[in-house]
């Protein structure tokens, strides 16, 4: 069970990384144009 001492902090840390990434996307207004973002991936860069 000693492995829990390592695993639980790791899981919490990874979770918070995910949360931080999500908060960053919200702050950068990345949810303003969901349809546009989905469509833009199809545009070729010349």
Partner 1 sequence: MAAACCGMPVSAGLSETKIQRFSLASIHCAACIKKIENCLNALKNVKSARVNLSMKRLHVTGSVEQDVIIQSLSEIGFDALPLNDTILEKENDKVGNDLLIRMAASGFAMMNIMILSVAVWSGASDETRNMFHLISAIIALPVIVYSSKPFFRNAYNAISVGRLNMDVPISLAIILSTLMSLFETLNDGQSVYFDAAISLTFFLLVGRYLDHKTRRTAKSAAKELTALEVQNTQRLEKGCFINVAVQDLSVGDLLLIPSGERIPVDGYLCDKSALLDRSLITGESNALEIKESSDLHAGEINLGHPLKMQVTTIGEFTSLRRMAALIETAENGRNSYTALADKAAQIYAPLVHLLALLAFIGWFINSGDIRHSINIAIAVLIITCPCALGLAVPAVTTAAISRLFSHGFLVKHATALERIAEVTHIVFDKTGTLTVPCIIVPESWSVKDKSVALALAQASGHPLSRALTKALTGVLPLDIYDLEEIQGEGVQAKLNGEQVKLGRGSWLDANFSGFGLKIGKNPAREIETSEELRNGVLSMLDEIDMPAEIITGDTYHAVKRFKHMVNLPITAQARPEDKIERLSKLLSQGKKTLMIGDGLNDTAALASAHAAIAPSTALEASRNAADIVVLDHDMKNIPLVVRLARATRKISKQNFAIAAIYNAVAIPIALAGFASPLIAALAMSASSITVILNSFRLRTIK
Cα gap 22→38, rounded to integer Å = 18
Per-residue exposure over 9-23, b if at least 16 CB sit within 10 Å of its own CB, e if not? eeeeeeeeeeeeeee
Chain contacts with partner 1 (rule: CB under 8 A): 1, 4, 8, 11-12, 15-16, 18-19, 22-23, 26-27, 29, 31-36, 39-43
The nearest distance, CB 19 to partner 1, in angstroms, is 4
The nearest distance, CB 43 to partner 1, in angstroms, is 5
The nearest distance, CB 35 to partner 1, in angstroms, is 4
């Amino acid at each position: 069970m000693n492995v829990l001492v390592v695993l639980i902090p790791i899981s919490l840390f990874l979770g918070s990384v995910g949360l931080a990434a999500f908060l960053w996307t919200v702050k950068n207004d990345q949810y303003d144009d969901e349809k546009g973002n989905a469509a833009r991936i199809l545009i070729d860069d010349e």
